[in-house]
Amino acid sequence: MDSISNNFSGLPTIRSAYSVCDFKANSAFDGSLKDKFLVASGNSSFAACSPSEGIAMYSKEFYAACTMGGILSCGLTHMLVTPLDVVKCNMQTNPQKYKSIASGFSMVVAEAGVAGLFKGWVPTLLGYSAQGACKFGFYEFFKKYYADLAGPENAIKYKDLIFLSGSASAEFIADVFLCPFEAVKVRVQTVPGFANGLSDGMPKILAAGGVAELFKGLRPLWGRQIPYTMMKFGCFERTVEALYANVVPKPKSECSKQEQLGVSFAAGYIAGVFCAIVSHPADNIVSKLNASKDATIGGIVNEMGVSALFTRGLPLRIVMIGTLTGLQWGIYDAFKVFVGLPTTGGAPPPTPK
Protein backbone atom coordinates (compact mmCIF):
# COMPACT_ATOMS: atom_id res chain seq x y z
CA MET A 1 0.00 0.00 0.00
CA ASP A 2 2.99 2.34 0.47
CA SER A 3 3.43 2.63 -3.29
CA ILE A 4 -0.24 3.48 -3.72
CA SER A 5 0.00 6.10 -1.00
CA ASN A 6 3.11 7.60 -2.56
CA ASN A 7 1.41 7.87 -5.93
CA PHE A 8 -1.06 10.32 -4.45
CA SER A 9 1.31 12.35 -2.26
CA GLY A 10 1.00 16.03 -2.89
CA LEU A 11 -2.34 15.71 -4.68
CA PRO A 12 -5.54 17.18 -3.28
CA THR A 13 -7.56 14.52 -1.51
CA ILE A 14 -11.09 13.86 -2.69
CA ARG A 15 -13.95 12.11 -1.03
CA SER A 16 -17.24 10.79 -2.28
CA ALA A 17 -20.56 11.60 -0.71
CA TYR A 18 -21.30 7.89 -1.03
CA SER A 19 -17.84 6.69 0.07
CA VAL A 20 -17.64 3.39 1.89
CA CYS A 21 -15.04 5.01 4.14
CA ASP A 22 -16.84 8.30 4.67
CA PHE A 23 -14.45 9.58 7.33
CA LYS A 24 -14.94 12.78 9.24
CA ALA A 25 -12.76 14.72 11.65
CA ASN A 26 -13.82 15.01 15.27
CA SER A 27 -11.67 17.02 17.64
CA ALA A 28 -13.27 15.32 20.64
CA PHE A 29 -10.99 12.35 20.05
CA ASP A 30 -7.73 14.33 19.69
CA GLY A 31 -4.75 12.34 20.89
CA SER A 32 -6.69 9.06 21.29
CA LEU A 33 -6.58 5.84 19.29
CA LYS A 34 -9.69 7.00 17.46
CA ASP A 35 -7.88 10.14 16.32
CA LYS A 36 -5.50 7.98 14.28
CA PHE A 37 -8.36 7.06 11.94
CA LEU A 38 -9.96 10.49 11.51
CA VAL A 39 -10.25 11.88 8.01
CA ALA A 40 -11.68 15.21 7.01
CA SER A 41 -14.74 15.40 4.82
CA GLY A 42 -16.19 18.07 2.58
CA ASN A 43 -19.79 18.97 1.81
CA SER A 44 -19.79 18.42 -1.95
CA SER A 45 -19.77 15.11 -3.80
CA PHE A 46 -16.04 15.30 -4.38
CA ALA A 47 -14.36 17.75 -2.02
CA ALA A 48 -10.72 18.51 -1.25
CA CYS A 49 -9.64 18.41 2.37
CA SER A 50 -6.71 19.84 4.24
CA PRO A 51 -4.25 17.52 6.01
CA SER A 52 -4.64 19.70 9.10
CA GLU A 53 -8.32 18.69 9.31
CA GLY A 54 -7.61 14.99 9.51
CA ILE A 55 -5.69 12.09 8.00
CA ALA A 56 -5.24 12.52 4.25
CA MET A 57 -7.21 10.24 1.98
CA TYR A 58 -5.16 7.32 0.66
CA SER A 59 -2.61 7.68 3.45
CA LYS A 60 -1.40 4.62 5.35
CA GLU A 61 -3.75 5.47 8.20
CA PHE A 62 -6.70 5.69 5.84
CA TYR A 63 -5.91 2.28 4.36
CA ALA A 64 -5.41 0.85 7.85
CA ALA A 65 -8.95 1.89 8.76
CA CYS A 66 -10.44 0.54 5.52
CA THR A 67 -8.50 -2.71 5.83
CA MET A 68 -9.40 -3.30 9.47
CA GLY A 69 -13.06 -2.56 8.81
CA GLY A 70 -13.04 -4.98 5.88
CA ILE A 71 -11.37 -7.73 7.91
CA LEU A 72 -13.87 -7.40 10.74
CA SER A 73 -16.95 -7.08 8.56
CA CYS A 74 -16.19 -9.91 6.12
CA GLY A 75 -14.10 -12.41 8.10
CA LEU A 76 -16.25 -12.52 11.23
CA THR A 77 -19.61 -12.58 9.46
CA HIS A 78 -18.74 -15.38 7.05
CA MET A 79 -17.40 -17.42 9.96
CA LEU A 80 -20.62 -16.83 11.95
CA VAL A 81 -22.84 -18.20 9.15
CA THR A 82 -20.69 -21.31 8.59
CA PRO A 83 -23.60 -23.66 9.55
CA LEU A 84 -25.79 -22.11 6.85
CA ASP A 85 -22.92 -22.36 4.38
CA VAL A 86 -22.35 -26.05 5.17
CA VAL A 87 -25.99 -26.92 4.48
CA LYS A 88 -26.16 -24.68 1.40
CA CYS A 89 -23.06 -26.23 -0.20
CA ASN A 90 -24.32 -29.77 0.43
CA MET A 91 -27.72 -28.93 -1.04
CA GLN A 92 -25.97 -27.64 -4.15
CA THR A 93 -23.58 -30.56 -4.60
CA ASN A 94 -25.83 -33.44 -3.47
CA PRO A 95 -29.49 -32.41 -3.88
CA GLN A 96 -30.74 -36.02 -3.81
CA LYS A 97 -29.51 -36.41 -0.24
CA TYR A 98 -29.97 -32.86 1.08
CA LYS A 99 -33.44 -32.07 -0.22
CA SER A 100 -34.43 -29.12 1.98
CA ILE A 101 -33.02 -26.69 4.51
CA ALA A 102 -34.54 -28.48 7.50
CA SER A 103 -33.53 -31.97 6.34
CA GLY A 104 -30.10 -30.62 5.42
CA PHE A 105 -29.43 -29.44 8.97
CA SER A 106 -30.78 -32.71 10.38
CA MET A 107 -28.67 -34.81 8.01
CA VAL A 108 -25.43 -32.97 8.81
CA VAL A 109 -26.01 -33.21 12.57
CA ALA A 110 -27.00 -36.91 12.33
CA GLU A 111 -23.86 -37.83 10.40
CA ALA A 112 -21.24 -35.53 11.92
CA GLY A 113 -22.78 -34.10 15.08
CA VAL A 114 -23.17 -30.40 15.81
CA ALA A 115 -19.47 -29.97 15.02
CA GLY A 116 -20.27 -30.92 11.42
CA LEU A 117 -22.13 -27.63 11.02
CA PHE A 118 -18.88 -25.77 11.64
CA LYS A 119 -16.67 -27.64 9.18
CA GLY A 120 -14.37 -25.31 7.30
CA TRP A 121 -14.63 -22.38 9.69
CA VAL A 122 -10.86 -21.73 9.65
CA PRO A 123 -10.46 -21.37 5.85
CA THR A 124 -13.69 -19.37 5.91
CA LEU A 125 -12.33 -16.92 8.50
CA LEU A 126 -8.91 -16.54 6.87
CA GLY A 127 -10.14 -16.44 3.29
CA TYR A 128 -12.88 -13.90 3.78
CA SER A 129 -10.73 -11.77 6.08
CA ALA A 130 -8.18 -11.46 3.27
CA GLN A 131 -10.94 -10.82 0.77
CA GLY A 132 -12.54 -8.15 2.96
CA ALA A 133 -9.26 -6.34 3.46
CA CYS A 134 -8.66 -6.15 -0.30
CA LYS A 135 -12.30 -5.39 -1.12
CA PHE A 136 -12.48 -2.21 0.95
CA GLY A 137 -8.90 -1.01 0.56
CA PHE A 138 -8.69 -1.38 -3.21
CA TYR A 139 -12.20 -0.02 -3.64
CA GLU A 140 -11.04 3.33 -2.31
CA PHE A 141 -7.95 3.27 -4.55
CA PHE A 142 -9.86 2.46 -7.73
CA LYS A 143 -12.62 4.91 -6.91
CA LYS A 144 -10.12 7.78 -6.87
CA TYR A 145 -8.24 6.42 -9.88
CA TYR A 146 -11.39 6.30 -12.03
CA ALA A 147 -12.55 9.67 -10.73
CA ASP A 148 -9.21 11.20 -11.78
CA LEU A 149 -9.53 9.63 -15.23
CA ALA A 150 -13.05 11.00 -15.63
CA GLY A 151 -12.23 14.53 -14.49
CA PRO A 152 -14.06 16.63 -11.88
CA GLU A 153 -17.35 17.19 -13.74
CA ASN A 154 -17.75 13.65 -15.07
CA ALA A 155 -16.68 12.18 -11.73
CA ILE A 156 -19.74 13.75 -10.16
CA LYS A 157 -22.05 13.11 -13.09
CA TYR A 158 -21.13 9.43 -13.36
CA LYS A 159 -20.39 8.72 -9.71
CA ASP A 160 -22.54 5.57 -9.68
CA LEU A 161 -20.55 4.13 -12.57
CA ILE A 162 -17.32 5.00 -10.77
CA PHE A 163 -18.50 3.27 -7.61
CA LEU A 164 -19.56 0.16 -9.53
CA SER A 165 -16.33 0.05 -11.52
CA GLY A 166 -14.25 0.61 -8.40
CA SER A 167 -15.98 -2.17 -6.50
CA ALA A 168 -15.67 -4.58 -9.44
CA SER A 169 -11.95 -3.88 -9.79
CA ALA A 170 -11.39 -4.33 -6.07
CA GLU A 171 -13.26 -7.63 -6.01
CA PHE A 172 -11.25 -8.90 -8.99
CA ILE A 173 -8.13 -8.67 -6.83
CA ALA A 174 -9.78 -9.77 -3.60
CA ASP A 175 -10.96 -13.06 -5.12
CA VAL A 176 -7.41 -14.10 -5.98
CA PHE A 177 -6.70 -14.14 -2.24
CA LEU A 178 -10.01 -15.82 -1.40
CA CYS A 179 -9.94 -18.59 -4.01
CA PRO A 180 -7.48 -21.08 -2.38
CA PHE A 181 -9.31 -20.92 0.93
CA GLU A 182 -12.68 -21.29 -0.79
CA ALA A 183 -11.46 -24.45 -2.55
CA VAL A 184 -10.43 -26.02 0.77
CA LYS A 185 -13.60 -24.88 2.53
CA VAL A 186 -16.00 -26.42 0.01
CA ARG A 187 -14.07 -29.70 -0.19
CA VAL A 188 -14.00 -30.02 3.61
CA GLN A 189 -17.71 -29.22 3.90
CA THR A 190 -19.02 -31.45 1.11
CA VAL A 191 -16.68 -34.46 0.77
CA PRO A 192 -17.08 -36.83 3.75
CA GLY A 193 -13.76 -37.85 5.27
CA PHE A 194 -11.72 -35.59 2.99
CA ALA A 195 -10.13 -33.51 5.75
CA ASN A 196 -10.81 -31.91 9.10
CA GLY A 197 -9.91 -28.38 8.05
CA LEU A 198 -7.32 -26.12 6.47
CA SER A 199 -4.17 -27.69 7.93
CA ASP A 200 -4.78 -31.12 6.41
CA GLY A 201 -7.13 -30.12 3.59
CA MET A 202 -4.82 -27.78 1.68
CA PRO A 203 -1.88 -30.26 1.56
CA LYS A 204 -4.23 -32.93 0.17
CA ILE A 205 -5.46 -30.64 -2.61
CA LEU A 206 -1.90 -29.59 -3.46
CA ALA A 207 -0.77 -33.22 -3.56
CA ALA A 208 -3.66 -34.20 -5.82
CA GLY A 209 -3.59 -31.35 -8.35
CA GLY A 210 -0.97 -28.79 -7.43
CA VAL A 211 -1.54 -25.06 -7.09
CA ALA A 212 -3.77 -25.06 -10.16
CA GLU A 213 -6.32 -27.15 -8.26
CA LEU A 214 -6.63 -24.42 -5.63
CA PHE A 215 -7.43 -21.85 -8.31
CA LYS A 216 -9.67 -24.03 -10.48
CA GLY A 217 -12.73 -22.13 -9.31
CA LEU A 218 -11.31 -18.62 -9.79
CA ARG A 219 -13.25 -17.70 -12.95
CA PRO A 220 -16.66 -18.75 -11.60
CA LEU A 221 -15.68 -17.14 -8.29
CA TRP A 222 -15.21 -13.87 -10.18
CA GLY A 223 -18.58 -14.54 -11.82
CA ARG A 224 -20.17 -14.87 -8.39
CA GLN A 225 -18.34 -12.26 -6.35
CA ILE A 226 -17.97 -9.34 -8.77
CA PRO A 227 -21.71 -8.92 -9.45
CA TYR A 228 -22.31 -9.53 -5.75
CA THR A 229 -19.90 -6.76 -4.72
CA MET A 230 -21.18 -4.29 -7.29
CA MET A 231 -24.70 -4.86 -5.98
CA LYS A 232 -23.47 -4.79 -2.38
CA PHE A 233 -22.03 -1.31 -2.72
CA GLY A 234 -24.37 0.25 -5.27
CA CYS A 235 -27.64 -1.07 -3.86
CA PHE A 236 -26.61 -0.34 -0.28
CA GLU A 237 -25.84 3.31 -0.99
CA ARG A 238 -29.12 3.85 -2.81
CA THR A 239 -31.12 1.96 -0.17
CA VAL A 240 -29.63 4.05 2.66
CA GLU A 241 -30.56 7.17 0.74
CA ALA A 242 -34.11 5.90 0.16
CA LEU A 243 -34.59 4.89 3.80
CA TYR A 244 -33.58 8.30 5.11
CA ALA A 245 -35.69 10.04 2.47
CA ASN A 246 -38.86 7.94 2.77
CA VAL A 247 -38.89 5.78 5.91
CA VAL A 248 -36.88 7.34 8.73
CA PRO A 249 -38.99 10.20 10.15
CA LYS A 250 -36.06 12.55 10.74
CA PRO A 251 -32.83 13.57 8.99
CA LYS A 252 -29.73 11.43 9.47
CA SER A 253 -28.05 14.28 11.35
CA GLU A 254 -30.78 14.03 14.03
CA CYS A 255 -30.60 10.25 14.34
CA SER A 256 -28.65 8.63 17.16
CA LYS A 257 -25.72 6.38 16.31
CA GLN A 258 -27.84 3.37 17.23
CA GLU A 259 -30.57 4.48 14.82
CA GLN A 260 -28.03 5.05 12.07
CA LEU A 261 -26.56 1.59 12.63
CA GLY A 262 -30.09 0.17 12.39
CA VAL A 263 -30.45 1.83 8.98
CA SER A 264 -27.07 0.38 7.94
CA PHE A 265 -28.16 -3.14 8.87
CA ALA A 266 -31.57 -2.81 7.16
CA ALA A 267 -30.03 -1.40 3.97
CA GLY A 268 -27.37 -4.09 4.04
CA TYR A 269 -29.95 -6.86 4.38
CA ILE A 270 -31.99 -5.49 1.46
CA ALA A 271 -28.86 -5.18 -0.66
CA GLY A 272 -27.90 -8.72 0.33
CA VAL A 273 -31.12 -10.16 -1.10
CA PHE A 274 -30.29 -8.70 -4.50
CA CYS A 275 -26.65 -9.78 -4.10
CA ALA A 276 -27.76 -13.39 -3.57
CA ILE A 277 -30.01 -13.40 -6.64
CA VAL A 278 -27.50 -11.96 -9.14
CA SER A 279 -24.59 -14.13 -7.97
CA HIS A 280 -26.40 -17.42 -7.33
CA PRO A 281 -25.79 -19.27 -10.63
CA ALA A 282 -22.04 -18.76 -10.27
CA ASP A 283 -22.23 -19.85 -6.62
CA ASN A 284 -23.73 -23.18 -7.69
CA ILE A 285 -20.91 -23.64 -10.19
CA VAL A 286 -18.22 -22.78 -7.63
CA SER A 287 -19.63 -25.27 -5.13
CA LYS A 288 -19.81 -28.09 -7.69
CA LEU A 289 -16.34 -27.35 -9.10
CA ASN A 290 -14.66 -27.40 -5.71
CA ALA A 291 -16.56 -30.48 -4.56
CA SER A 292 -15.26 -32.68 -7.40
CA LYS A 293 -11.78 -32.84 -8.93
CA ASP A 294 -13.12 -33.83 -12.36
CA ALA A 295 -15.96 -31.31 -12.60
CA THR A 296 -16.03 -28.75 -15.42
CA ILE A 297 -18.14 -25.64 -15.91
CA GLY A 298 -19.77 -27.00 -19.06
CA GLY A 299 -20.50 -30.33 -17.42
CA ILE A 300 -22.08 -28.66 -14.40
CA VAL A 301 -24.34 -26.49 -16.57
CA ASN A 302 -25.45 -29.53 -18.60
CA GLU A 303 -26.06 -31.59 -15.47
CA MET A 304 -28.02 -28.95 -13.53
CA GLY A 305 -29.80 -27.08 -16.30
CA VAL A 306 -30.40 -23.35 -16.38
CA SER A 307 -33.37 -23.41 -14.04
CA ALA A 308 -31.54 -25.28 -11.29
CA LEU A 309 -28.53 -23.00 -11.65
CA PHE A 310 -30.70 -20.05 -10.70
CA THR A 311 -32.92 -21.71 -8.08
CA ARG A 312 -31.20 -24.65 -6.34
CA GLY A 313 -30.36 -23.53 -2.81
CA LEU A 314 -31.52 -19.97 -3.50
CA PRO A 315 -33.96 -19.52 -0.56
CA LEU A 316 -31.30 -20.54 1.95
CA ARG A 317 -28.71 -18.38 0.23
CA ILE A 318 -31.04 -15.35 0.32
CA VAL A 319 -31.36 -15.81 4.09
CA MET A 320 -27.63 -16.39 4.42
CA ILE A 321 -26.44 -13.53 2.20
CA GLY A 322 -29.10 -11.11 3.40
CA THR A 323 -28.07 -11.72 7.01
CA LEU A 324 -24.41 -11.73 6.06
CA THR A 325 -24.50 -8.44 4.16
CA GLY A 326 -26.65 -6.75 6.80
CA LEU A 327 -24.19 -7.81 9.50
CA GLN A 328 -21.23 -6.74 7.39
CA TRP A 329 -22.52 -3.20 6.97
CA GLY A 330 -23.59 -3.11 10.62
CA ILE A 331 -20.15 -4.20 11.84
CA TYR A 332 -18.34 -1.96 9.37
CA ASP A 333 -20.30 1.13 10.40
CA ALA A 334 -20.06 0.18 14.08
CA PHE A 335 -16.30 0.13 13.65
CA LYS A 336 -16.45 3.57 12.05
CA VAL A 337 -18.53 4.87 14.95
CA PHE A 338 -16.05 3.32 17.41
CA VAL A 339 -13.16 5.28 15.88
CA GLY A 340 -15.23 8.47 15.79
CA LEU A 341 -16.48 8.40 12.21
CA PRO A 342 -19.97 8.80 10.72
CA THR A 343 -21.88 5.86 9.31
CA THR A 344 -21.86 5.27 5.56
CA GLY A 345 -24.25 6.96 3.14
CA GLY A 346 -27.30 9.10 3.77
CA ALA A 347 -30.01 11.21 2.21
CA PRO A 348 -29.07 13.64 -0.57
CA PRO A 349 -28.83 17.33 0.33
CA PRO A 350 -32.25 18.98 0.61
CA THR A 351 -33.46 20.99 -2.37
CA PRO A 352 -33.06 24.72 -1.68
CA LYS A 353 -36.38 26.52 -1.22
- Per-residue pLDDT of 246-269, as tens digits, reads 999 888 889 998 999 999 999 999
Asked whether residue 175 carries a pLDDT value surpassing 90, the answer given is yes
Instruction: Report pLDDT for 288.
Output: 81
- 32-52 per-position pLDDT tens digit: 444 544 443 333 333 333 333
Task: Please compute the mean of the pLDDT values over residues 141-146 and round it to a whole number.
Answer: 84
DSSP letter string over 135-164? HHHHHHHHHHHHHHHH-HHHHHHTHHHHHH
Query: 30 to each of 21, 35, 36, 166, how far by Cα in Å?
Result: 20, 5, 9, 32
Q: Are 236 and 321 contacting, i.e. CB atoms less than 8 angstroms apart?
A: no
When pLDDT is cut at 50, 70 and 90, the band that residue 341 belongs to is low
Share of the chain above pLDDT 70, in %: 81
Helix count and strand count (H, E) for the chain: 14, 0
Q: What is the pTM of this model?
A: 0.72
Confidence of residue 159 (pLDDT cuts 50, 70, 90): confident
From CA 174, how far away is CA 128, in angstroms rounded? 9
Reported in sequence order, the residue ranges of the chain that DSSP labels E, i.e. its strands, are: none
Percent of the chain with pLDDT strictly greater than 90: 31
Which pLDDT band, with edges at 50, 70 and 90, does 180 fall under? very high
Q: pLDDT by residue (tens digit) across 77-117? A: 999 889 988 998 888 888 888 988 888 999 999 988 999 99
Determine the pLDDT at residue 49. 38
